[in-house]
Structure 1
Amino acid sequence: MRTAITGHRGLSDGVSSLVARALDMQLACLSDYLVGVTCLADEADQLFAEAVLRHGGQLEAVVPAQEYRGGLPEHAHAAYDQLINQAVAVHRCGYRASDSDAHMAASESTVDKSARLIAVWDGMAARSYGSTADVVAYADGLSVRRLLPRRAD
């Protein structure tokens, strides 16, 4: 099953540990064929990617922009490099600057490529464009459109 992730960055160590355990529990319940689709951002994305690999799945990375890696915190670079090298596919969005537009385009791409979305989200409204709340709203809108019956014209 192709599963995407969206989630907050800058999590505390305690919250990161809880998220890692929750991701392991969620992924253990999925089918034998697991593909994780992620932008490999620090925190939730990287925790998800590591969990996918622990559960024998494959990774697909979506890179928002040419300058994306440089915009990640320094402490996330080594994990990003390791995980992107383990990806079976890398999809590039074509943006140069790693900004909100690039991040939202990449997030939409992860959702579009997946059958399921895991959101590590506090439930609060978006603080800036391209945030977790925006990705959840995008996915929710797709789900509603996919479930509505087609009108007979």
Structure 2
Amino acid sequence: MRVAVCGHRRLDGSVADDVDEALRQHLSTVDRLVGISSLSEGAEQIFAHAVLDTGGRLLVVVPAEGHRDALPPSCRAGYDSLVRRALDVVSLRFDAPTAQARLAAARHMLERADQLVAIWDRQAADVDGGPVDVIREAIWRRIPVKVIWPTG
């Protein structure tokens, strides 16, 4: 099953740990897992590590030139490591990592996905092209959405 991801970029330590645990629990039930991610900081990198650690394969969709450099410096080494471990890397032809590029990457992921995992607190999107926009697109495409967020 091909599972795409969207989610919040800013996750603190305890929330990130709880999200990681819930993700691993969900992904361990998926047969022949291929995770699809842009590897943005926060939810997407947590997802990618969980995919690989549970025996899945990773497909990376790079939204634009400069995507890696637009990540916080603390996330770049993780990004590089995940890209090296990916089954495939698809780069979209946007010149800069804008909301338009992020939404195009999300649509590209959804075109290949059987399910969307949304790491989302059910609040408004933190950026254009964020979780709310991606979830709406998945629903419009009739792709099942699994929301993961720690209780409390």
Instruction: Using structure 1 for the length normalisation, give the TM-score.
Output: 0.90
Gaps spanning 5+ residues in structure 2: where? 144-152
SS in 2 for 1:104: helix
1:10-55 Cα shifts (integer Å, max 9, x gaps): 1110100000000100001111x11000000111111111111111
CA–CA separation in structure 1 for the residues paired with 2:47 and 2:14: 16
Say if 2:65 is the partner of 1:63: no
**Residue 57 of structure 2 contacts residue 86 of structure 2 at CA under 8 Å; is this kept in 1?**
yes
Aligned position for 1:130? 129
Say if 2:2 is the partner of 1:8: no
Rate the CA distance shift 1:51–1:41 in 2: closer, same or farther, 3 A: same
Gaps spanning 5+ residues in structure 1: where? 145-153
Aligned position for 1:41? 40
Aligned position for 2:149? none
Q: Equivalent pairs: percent with the same residue?
A: 37
1:73-120 Cα shifts (integer Å, max 9, x gaps): 110000000001111111111101111000110011111111011000
SS in 2 for 1:143: coil
**Residue 8 of structure 2 contacts residue 126 of structure 2 at CA under 8 Å; is this kept in 1?**
no
CA–CA separation in structure 2 for the residues paired with 1:128 and 1:45: 15
Shift of residue 125, structure 1, vs aligned partner: 2.6
Aligned position for 1:74? 73
Give 1:17's aligned amino acid: D
Aligned position for 2:146? none
CA–CA separation in structure 2 for the residues paired with 1:128 and 1:63: 18
CA–CA separation in structure 1 for the residues paired with 2:62 and 2:126: 22
After TM superposition, what 4+ stretches of structure 1 lie above 4 angstroms from structure 2? none
Question: Radius of gyration: which is bigger?
Answer: 1
How many residues of Structure 1 are paired with residues of Structure 2 in the alignment? 143
Shift of residue 127, structure 1, vs aligned partner: 4.3
Say if 2:96 is the partner of 1:97: yes
CA–CA separation in structure 1 for the residues paired with 2:81 and 2:136: 31
Give 1:22's aligned amino acid: A
Aligned position for 1:51? 50
CA–CA separation in structure 1 for the residues paired with 2:122 and 2:136: 11
**Residue 38 of structure 2 contacts residue 44 of structure 2 at CA under 8 Å; is this kept in 1?**
yes
Instruction: Using structure 2 for the length normalisation, give the TM-score.
Output: 0.91
CA–CA separation in structure 2 for the residues paired with 1:68 and 1:127: 18
CA–CA separation in structure 2 for the residues paired with 1:113 and 1:72: 25
